């Protein structure tokens, strides 16, 4: 499973990218707004740090303007993936961008398996189901991932990757991997939590204590 980082924080992205664990980045207008910086400038810097796809989202709601904005975003860097909302206009734009331009498209704000099927038929490279937001309203976010996985697996010709979005905690990552999601996008703090375990900390402390008692040094 690929790990994308869901942030526009350049320092956090660079720090995590150095581990080799970052396969891409997802941004949205809200994340970029938190930086207080120019949107296109931030996306361009992220593209220099990460070789994989960097999702940059259009802000228009009609297909014609989405395509105009997508053209601007595509010129920022070769690894920009255009992010469009799962609306009829978004699907129209997705088809043009993916089929005619040959550019990766991330269709976002997916909340049902039928929406995911429409996005795949429109040529989406990634479908972004929002598991955390479904959990927030008492629905089963991970159940949606299972349903989309089952639908896509029924039709091998569909090559859209399931990109689990709105992930809030480590169990979302575990369950996504068990279900067979292709990608998960995570806030930096959640990605860092994947390496943590109290028994790891306890074991390391014991090893270091025993080593200190020997009075030796490797260097």
Residue 183 in this model has a pLDDT that exceeds 90: yes
The helix/strand/coil state of 54 is strand
For residue 156, give both structure tokens. 């091998």
Domain 2-214 CATH superfamily: Aldolase class I (3.20.20.70)
Judged by phi (left if over 0) then psi (alpha if -120 to 50, else beta), residue 156 lies in: alpha
Q: How far is CA 43 from CA 37, 68, 146, in A?
A: 10, 17, 32
The pLDDT of residue 29 is 86
The pLDDT of residue 136 is 96
pTM for this prediction: 0.95
Contact 147, 126 (CB under 8 A): no
For residue 217, give both structure tokens. 């040094």
Q: Tell me the residue ranges of DSSP E strands in the chain.
A: 2-6, 24-26, 54-57, 80-85, 105-110, 126-129, 161-164, 183-186
| 47 Cβ neighbours under 8 A, 6+ residues apart | 54, 76, 77, 79, 80
DSSP 161-191: EEEEBS--SHHHHHHHHHHT-SEEEE-HHHH
Closest CA to 2 of 46, 47, 53: 53
Residue 83 annotated as catalytic = yes
Residue 55 in this model has a pLDDT that exceeds 90: yes
Q: How confident is the model over 105-117, as pLDDT tens digits?
A: 999 999 999 999 9
**Mean pLDDT calculated for residue range 29-51:** 93
Residue 71 in this model has a pLDDT that exceeds 90: yes
Contact 69, 84 (CB under 8 A): no
The pLDDT of residue 153 is 98
Q: How confident is the model over 106-163, as pLDDT tens digits?
A: 999 999 999 999 999 999 999 999 999 999 999 999 999 999 999 999 999 999 999 9
Residue 167 in this model has a pLDDT that exceeds 90: yes
Catalytic residue, from 83, 92, 99, 213: name it: 83
Average confidence score pLDDT of the chain: 97
């Amino acid at each position: 499973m690929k790990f994308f980082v869901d942030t526009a924080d350049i320092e956090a992205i660079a720090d995590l990218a150095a581990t080799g664990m970052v396969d891409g980045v997802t941004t949205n207008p809200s994340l970029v707004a938190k930086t207080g910086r120019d949107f296109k400038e931030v996306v361009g810097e992220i593209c220099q740090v990460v070789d994989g796809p960097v999702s940059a989202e259009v802000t228009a709601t009609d297909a014609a303007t989405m395509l105009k904005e997508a053209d601007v975003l595509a010129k920022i860097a070769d690894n920009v993936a255009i992010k469009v909302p799962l609306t009829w206009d978004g699907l129209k734009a997705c088809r043009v961008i993916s089929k005619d331009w040959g550019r990766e498209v991330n269709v976002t704000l997916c909340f049902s398996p039928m929406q995911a099927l429409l996005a795949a038929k429109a040529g989406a490279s990634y479908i972004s189901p929002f598991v955390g937001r479904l959990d927030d309203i008492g629905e089963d976010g991970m159940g949606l991932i299972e349903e989309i996985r089952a639908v896509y697996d029924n039709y091998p010709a569909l090559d859209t990757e399931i990109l689990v979005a709105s992930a809030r905690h480590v169990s979302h990552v575990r369950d996504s991997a068990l279900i067979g999601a292709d990608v998960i996008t995570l806030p930096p703090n959640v990605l860092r939590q994947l390496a943590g375990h109290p028994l790891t900390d306890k074991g390391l402390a014991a090893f270091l204590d025993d080593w200190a008692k020997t009075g030796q040094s490797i260097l």
